[in-house]
Each structure stands twice: as structure tokens, then as C-alpha cells.
Amino acid sequence: MARSAGGMKGFYLALGAIAVGGLGLLGYQLTRGGSVSIPANVTVLAADTAGFRGYLLGSDSAPVEITEYADYQCPFCADFSLVQFPDIKSRLIDTGKLRWRYRDYPLDGLHPSARISAHTAACADEQGKYWPVHNLIYQGQSDWARGNAEGILRGYAEAAQLDLAKYDECMQSARYAGRIEASLQEGTALGVTGTPTFLVAGRLLQAREGRYDRIRAIVDSLIAAGAQP
């Protein structure tokens, strides 16, 4: 049976409303992840660095300390974290020979999501979950680095069982922007120009030297020479 003109008009109006509503929902889903912004070049305040010298892993009594200056969006940093660092952790850090110090060094011109990923890790640290989220960020770099970083990074916070309300408030506040900037300035003052760069016994080692066997040889040499914590 044929529809009346009025009935057809109503049908198309309803269909149009559904389409518009769907587009609106899609637009919301696409834009809701862009609400967090972590500023660069901020003024570093005393409170940004008070009592904080980096993210530390290992014993306070370890005779050798190495500082890594790194960028979460840097592919070479991800390779180091996933390929070399597990051996460094199990054979040098966990055995008490080495303490690791991680510092953010965002390469803003190359990596637009370097600061938001660093801030995600800082917010995880606030809830005692820095290293689990740190690892998830590097493991998933190929996913979040292509886009929708905010949403994917939030997923890592959820996977690490963070309190998401506290995490969201932390990210919105951008309260660790100064800490990230201070880390960048520290590395720059020391002569860091790329990532990853490692500082050990006052010397900077470039990415190509960030291999387990090279790090082990340096640590063993310093311990033999009488390095003290």
C-alpha cells in the first residue's frame, strides 16, 4: 500500500534527525579526546622540582647511577625500553649494582605528543603506578603516536587500575608541565641534544651506546674502580 505524502514527509524528517544525531555523537567522540593540553616553555617554579630528581628504579645503595633522558614518542627510546632495558633491569638494577634515573626530554618539534605522554606517566606516578604506565606507553607507542593519543593513554591508565577521576583531574590540571620542562632544561644544560641519551659518571652516552653489554661493561668498570653510591 502506498504511503501518504504526509507520512513520507514524517519518515524522512525522522531519518534526518537520526542522521544528524549520529553525526553529532561521532563529532563528540572525535573531539572529546582533545581536551588536554600540556604547555611547553612554561616558567619552572621551585615547587616543580622540590624533592624530585627524576623517576628512580633500583636500590638507594647501588654504587652506580645512570640517568636516561628520553622522549616517549621517540622510536629509538621505545626500542631501548623494549629490547635493551629488560636485561639492564634484571641483571644490573635488580641485583643492586645500578640505580636508574629517568628524565623527560620531549622533542617538541618532532613529537607533538611527547609532553602529554610524559604527563600521563607523571599522573600515574601520583598514584604509585609510574613504572607500569611507563612500560605501557612505550609498548603501545605505535598506536598512540599516530593519533588520539589522549584517549589511548587514558586507556593505559585504566589498564593499570588508576583511579580515573583522579587521573582525569591530574591531566586537566597540567600540573606537571613545569616538572617536564625542568627535566628538559636540565638535559639541555648538560649537552643533551637527542634521545635517548644517558648520563653516567659525568659523561653523556648517545643512543648507539645504550646496549645492555655496553651498559654492563661501564657499570662493572665503575664498581671495580670503587664507585660509591
DSSP 50-83: TT---EEES-TT-SEEEEEEE-TT-HHHHHIIII
Question: 65 and 3 share a domain?
Answer: no
Q: What pLDDT is stored for residue 9 in this prediction? A: 44
* CATH number of the domain within which 115 lies: 3.40.30.10
Cα-based angle 218, 221, 224 (whole degrees, multiple of 5): 150
Residue 157 within a domain: yes
Contact by Cβ (8 Å): 62, 98: yes
The verdict on 17 and 80 lying in the same domain is no
Give the number of other Cβ atoms within 10 Å of residue 82's Cβ: 13
- Looking at residue 157, its amino acid is A
pLDDT tens by residue, the chain, 229 residues: 434 444 444 433 333 433 333 333 333 233 334 589 999 999 999 999 999 999 999 999 999 999 999 999 999 999 999 999 999 999 999 999 999 999 999 999 999 999 999 999 999 999 999 999 999 999 999 999 998 999 999 999 999 999 999 999 999 999 999 999 999 999 999 999 999 999 999 999 999 999 999 999 999 999 999 877 6
pTM of the model: 0.84
Our count of domains for the chain comes to 2
| Residue 158 host element (H or E) | helix 149-159
Q: Which of 213, 196, 203, 208 is nearest to 65 (CA)?
A: 203
What whole-number distance in Å separates Cα of residue 92 and Cα of residue 88? 5
Greatest alpha-carbon span in the chain = 96
pLDDT for 28 equals 28
CB atoms within 10 A of CB 135: 17
The answer to the question of residue 117 being in a domain is yes
Examine the domain organization and report whether 82 and 162 are in the same domain.
yes
Are 48 and 2 contained in the same domain?
no
Q: Which residues pair with 67 in a beta bridge?
A: 101, 199
Would residue 229 count as lying in a domain?
Answer: no
How far apart CA 154 and CA 171 sit, in angstroms, is: 9
Whether 102 and 215 map to the same domain: the answer is yes
Q: Give the model's pLDDT for residue 192.
A: 97
Whose grid coordinates read 500500500?
1
Unique residue bearing C-alpha cell 645512570: 66
128 lies in which domain range? 40-224
